[in-house]
Structure 1
């Protein structure tokens, strides 16, 4: 799955941009999951942001201390919600501290932009360039950029890629100095999917599972070295 975050401070226009970006991606033929992050819970009355999200996407999820979408009580992390998404693309409104995906930032000045982690930004939404970051109000253009450059890392912070955490790899991907293929949790010799969704495993867990499975299979009559496929309903 590919992903983009829309980050900015309160009343900056994050919701409107996330909605318009989701709609523009759908016009490209992509199915979209919209995720809204809130520190204050969710108001589900008509004409609220949450109601507008439901009208503008193929799937909507949200997480907050006061409750979460998908009928879960209490807060759930984004990592717990993502496996439920069955779409091509995920648009996250909010999530300033998450370093799992690139972002579009909304800021009126350089100081604000620096607080929004511009090293993860593909572009800024606005009228004036921020430092070396391109700024535009062309949502269709932004959709074309993120449809090609969007990505989502697993957030395991395992260090298998040689960086301290997933944010370090994400920054290098945005800078063009790495790719998602460098994520060892997503690209190793053991690939697991649950319900059609990839289940990432850090290199240590991958080695344990791989060695254990091969050791058990080696005790079965007819076993021979080679690629192994196991399917569990």
Structure 2
């Protein structure tokens, strides 16, 4: 785990340019869903005993259509977060204008829960209340739990689509290449993708890399097993 610096310049730079949540969630979300849904189609169609050409056609259709759908959904969801945050911002601005005493009391309560008390609490409350933007930011975080850094809808959508596309194509490659035992090879490489995504995800968590990898492998394996089982019901 890499520690950050604690000089005044480094501290100011981090505070002035906070990274926000970034695209980690979008990449993991898109990668897992891309590999899971594509292999689920592969498993379902293979379980039904259909030709490899059908598997490839349905698989690529899923990668493009479902990948775009997920990206669009993530864009819309992230945009909705922004719209809601702006709505709440306008509510707090109006409340500061119409109910200043009540809003000052809210600021004081939020600060008291951060450990301030006595004269220090009163002074801090007065200082923040005197700055409308600081007041709004504090109440958005303290009242609604909103982060101070807004997410980026288009970045979220692009990250989701790219991750979905990259991971979703892998289960199809053994069929495209015409390999012997293509389904078995596809299952193995897809399992490796599941595990790899989980292991990579552990870099941003406290979980052991192998535990995170096995967890993702387990989730993906269940989805694929369900799809294969349903497909076998239609095997002729």
More helix by share: 2
More strand by share: 1
If the length of structure 2 is used for normalisation, what is the TM-score?
A: 0.24
If the length of structure 1 is used for normalisation, what is the TM-score?
A: 0.24
Greater Rg, structure 1 or structure 2?
Answer: 2
